[in-house]
């Protein structure tokens, strides 16, 4: 419910338009700017989707070649007006007729507006998916396509299929209610039905076996509990226990945050809390509740040394579509996990070899460490630019390899996301005002300029959750962006629910 509200807010906020000016153009005028790549996507999608009853596809095609605003609008109106069946009657009552006609026009406009909104939302999601996939692809490239492990062919094929599939998926009930259960169920089914894998699953690259696929194929995807679920509720027996010699990789994010939990766009339910051994602060266990069987878990723990540092460890990959805000974080962490898995599993000595991927660089504003000490392969992205103490003060586990990373100043300087959740007031306006560089683009740039992929990830994450610290007020723990927004006056020039990705 409230999710829905947020989504609506997102759509109405016009924030998306800021990010994609071309879209706004099209939204308002039904015109197409061929110069913008995003618009091309829009055209593609709309053609696929709106041919059912809307004549717009034709118009859009026309528009792609030459912008014909008026013809577009007129066509649609004429059609709808005639369909109203009032035209012929012409009961001589001119004003009344005019009124009805206008009303019909209004209705049609409204209807079209609604459709456009849903389309826009769909496009947004599709775009995110594509982003994620591109990220994955790039990540694999960065890995030098090491190892047959992943079956790259499959991936290469799956990408177009999946994107097309997702785009075509009929979503009658408009996308406004992305988070509506019914819709998500549909999506889940859709995904599960497809032989290909969901984007996040792609990151679960497994060397020897394709255990990851079962996550993707088995829509229940309760594979998480498999390693240790003797009870298994419905006895959905089959191959539920694939041995899982390797646990899932973990991506740990260290960030400075006063809030009890960083805002990553997902919905989490706490299912446990334990006192860590060497840490006065308890460790909280959360699981993703955005989908029924989502295997993603995370642990939140405060650093013993510096209580202002919050360590969030993600494990698993989402088996369901994610809202944009969550996509940002999920794709980033899953990419990191993929990198870690592919790197460490191919060569068991892998850790040193990873060093080749992370050449030491002078400005180490971010740091990633790969740890083999933990029972699970873990990659730690350190976003704490610890101003005072050296980052090495932390007790590094014996088998941890600290890898000073390139800070990618340009990345950090140009955050690609408006920090989620924070009211616009706290966001420097220029961030939103700037051209909205996608994470993928940024990562691409990072890879291009520097093979250090982790730095890009860290930078991405930092931009995702960045600046979310501070407001410690009770509402923050609910992880609800609106909760934070309510109390604060929205910045005038920025839409309330802006936050590129905060809408979840």
Partner DNA sequence: CGCATTTGACCGGCGC
Partner DNA sequence: GCGCCGGTCAAATGCG
141, interface contact from Zn ion, DNA, none, CB < 5-8 Å by kind: none
Query: Rounded to whole angstroms, how far apart are CA atoms 374 and 262?
Result: 23
The least CB distance from residue 330 to Zn ion, in Å, is: 7
Among residues 437, 419, 439, 443, the alpha carbon closest in space to that of 429 is found at 419
Q: How far is the CB of 252 from DNA (least distance, A)?
A: 11
> Minimum Å distance from CB 359 to DNA?
31
Rule CB under 7 A: is residue 272 a binding residue for DNA?
Answer: yes
Binding mask 305-324 toward Zn ion (x if CB under 5 A, else -) reads -------------x------
Stretch that binds DNA, among 166-174, 263-271, 336-344, 413-421 (CB under 7 A): 263-271
Contact partner, 74, from DNA, Zn ion, none, Cβ < 5-8 Å per class: none
Could you say whether residue 294 binds Zn ion (CB under 5 A)?
yes
Asked if 289 is part of the footprint of DNA (rule: CB under 7 A), the reply reads: yes
Contact between 161 and DNA (CB under 7 A)?
no
When asked if residue 94 is in the footprint of DNA (CB under 7 A), the reply is no
- Minimum CB distance to DNA, residue 141 (Å): 31
**Can you give the C-alpha Rg of the chain in angstroms?**
24
The bridge status of strand 282-288 relative to strand 297-302 is: antiparallel
SS3 368: strand
The verdict on 254 binding Zn ion (CB under 5 A) reads no
CA distances from 468 to 99, 134, 258, 325, 427 (A): 51, 27, 9, 13, 10
> Which one of residues 106, 193, 276, 472 is an interface residue with DNA (CB under 7 A)?
276
The item of DNA, Zn ion, none sharing an interface with residue 267, based on CB under 5 to 8 Å by kind, is DNA
Nearer to Zn ion, 159 or 296 (CB): 296
Per the listing, tokens 């691409």 go with: 444
Residue 389 touches which of DNA, Zn ion, none (Cβ within 5-8 Å per kind):
none
Is residue 76 helix, strand or coil?
Answer: helix
The pair of structure tokens assigned to 37 is 């790549």
Q: Which does 289 bind (CB under 5 to 8 A by kind): Zn ion, DNA, none?
A: DNA
Sign of the CA dihedral running 225, 229, 234, 239: positive
Neighbour-count burial for 252-280, b at 16+ CB within 10 Å, e otherwise: bbbbbbebbbbbbbbbbeeeeeeeeeeee
- 3 state SS of 88: coil
Which of DNA, Zn ion, none sits in contact with 273, Cβ below 5 to 8 A by type?
A: DNA
Instruction: Enter the tokens of residue 375.
Output: 């029972």
Q: At what angle do helices 56-65 and 37-50 cross, to 10 degrees?
A: 150
Q: Does 271 bind DNA (CB under 7 A)?
A: yes
Tokens at residue 279, please?
A: 């840490």
Please state the closest distance from residue 389 (CB atom) to DNA, in A.
24
- Contact present, 68 and 62 (Cβ < 8 Å): yes
Are the C-beta atoms of 361 and 342 separated by less than 8 Å? Answer: no
Q: Residue 290: phi, psi to the nearest 5?
A: -75, -25
Do residues 330 and 317 make contact, with C-beta atoms less than 8 angstroms apart? yes
Among 231, 237, 280, 387, binds DNA (CB under 7 A): 231
Smallest gap from Cβ 221 to DNA, in A, equals 13
Q: Please report how the helices 453-465 and 324-346 are oriented relative to each other, as an axis angle in degrees rounded to 10.
A: 150
132 contributes a contact to Zn ion by CB under 5 A:
no
The CB-of-483 to DNA minimum distance in angstroms stands at 11
Q: Which of 80, 120, 201, 288 binds Zn ion (CB under 5 A)?
A: 288
DSSP state of 230: S
d(CA 504, CA 498): 11
In the list DNA, Zn ion, none, the entry touching 297 (Cβ below 5 to 8 angstroms by class) is DNA
Per the structure block, which two tokens stand in for 347?
């060569």
Stretch of residues binding DNA (CB under 7 A), selected from 80-88, 115-123, 157-165, 227-235:
227-235
Would you call 434 exposed, middle or buried from its count of C-beta atoms within 10 A (0-12, 13-18, 19+)? Answer: middle
Residue closer to DNA (CB basis): 193 or 276: 276
373 binds DNA (CB under 7 A): no
- Choose, by CB under 5 A, the member of 261, 290, 310, 411 that binds Zn ion: 290
Residues in contact with Zn ion by CB under 5 A are: 288, 290, 294, 296, 318
**Which residues would be at the binding site for DNA (CB under 7 A)?**
224-225, 228-231, 267-274, 276-277, 283-285, 289, 297, 299, 375, 478
């Amino acid at each position: 419910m409230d999710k829905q509200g947020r989504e609506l807010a997102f759509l109405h906020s016009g924030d998306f338009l800021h990010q994609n000016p071309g879209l706004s153009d099209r939204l308002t005028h039904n015109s197409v700017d061929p110069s913008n790549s995003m618009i091309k996507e829009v055209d593609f999608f709309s053609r696929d989707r709106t041919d059912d009853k809307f004549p717009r596809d034709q118009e859009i095609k026309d528009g792609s070649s030459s912008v014909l605003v008026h013809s577009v609008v007129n066509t649609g109106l004429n059609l709808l007006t005639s369909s109203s069946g009032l035209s012929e009657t012409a009961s001589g009552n001119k004003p009344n007729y005019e009124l009805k006609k206008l009303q019909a026009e209004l209705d049609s406009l409204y209807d079209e507006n609604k459709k456009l909104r849903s389309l826009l939302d769909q496009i947004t999601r599709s775009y995110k998916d594509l982003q994620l996939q591109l990220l994955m692809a790039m990540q694999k490239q960065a890995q030098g396509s090491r190892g047959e492990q992943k079956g790259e062919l499959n991936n290469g094929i799956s990408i177009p299929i999946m994107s097309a599939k997702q785009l075509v998926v009929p979503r009658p009930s408009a996308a406004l209610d992305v988070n509506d259960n019914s819709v998500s169920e549909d999506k889940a089914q859709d995904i599960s039905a497809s032989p290909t894998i969901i984007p996040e699953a792609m990151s679960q690259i497994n060397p020897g076996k394709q255990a990851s696929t079962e996550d993707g194929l088995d829509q229940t995807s309760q594979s998480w509990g498999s390693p240790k679920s003797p009870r298994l509720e419905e006895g959905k027996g089959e191959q539920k226990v694939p041995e899982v010699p390797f646990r899932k990789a973990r991506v740990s994010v260290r960030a400075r945050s006063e809030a009890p939990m960083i805002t990553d766009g997902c919905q989490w339910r706490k299912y446990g809390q334990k006192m860590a051994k060497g840490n006065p602060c308890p460790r909280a266990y959360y699981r993703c509740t955005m989908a029924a069987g989502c295997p993603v878990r995370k642990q939140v723990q405060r650093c013993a040394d510096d209580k202002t540092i919050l360590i969030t460890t993600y494990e698993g990959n989402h088996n369901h579509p994610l809202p944009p805000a969550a996509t940002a974080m999920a794709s980033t962490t899953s990419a990191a996990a993929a990198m870690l898995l592919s790197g460490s599993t191919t060569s068991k000595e892998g850790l040193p070899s990873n060093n080749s991927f992370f050449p030491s660089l002078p400005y180490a504003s971010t740091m990633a460490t790969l740890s083999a000490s933990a029972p699970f392969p873990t990659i730690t992205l350190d976003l704490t630019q610890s101003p005072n103490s050296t980052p090495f003060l932390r007790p590094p586990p014996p088998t941890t390899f600290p890898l000073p990373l390139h800070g990618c100043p340009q990345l950090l300087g140009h955050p690609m996301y408006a920090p989620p959740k924070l009211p616009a007031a706290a966001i420097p306006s220029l961030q939103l005002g700037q051209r909205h560089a996608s994470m993928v683009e940024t990562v691409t740039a990072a890879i291009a300029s520097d093979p250090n992929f982790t730095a890009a990830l860290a930078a991405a994450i930092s931009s995702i959750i960045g600046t979310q610290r501070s407001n410690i007020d009770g509402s923050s723990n609910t992880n609800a962006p609106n909760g934070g927004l309510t109390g604060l006056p929205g910045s005038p020039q920025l839409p309330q629910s802006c936050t590129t990705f905060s809408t979840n």
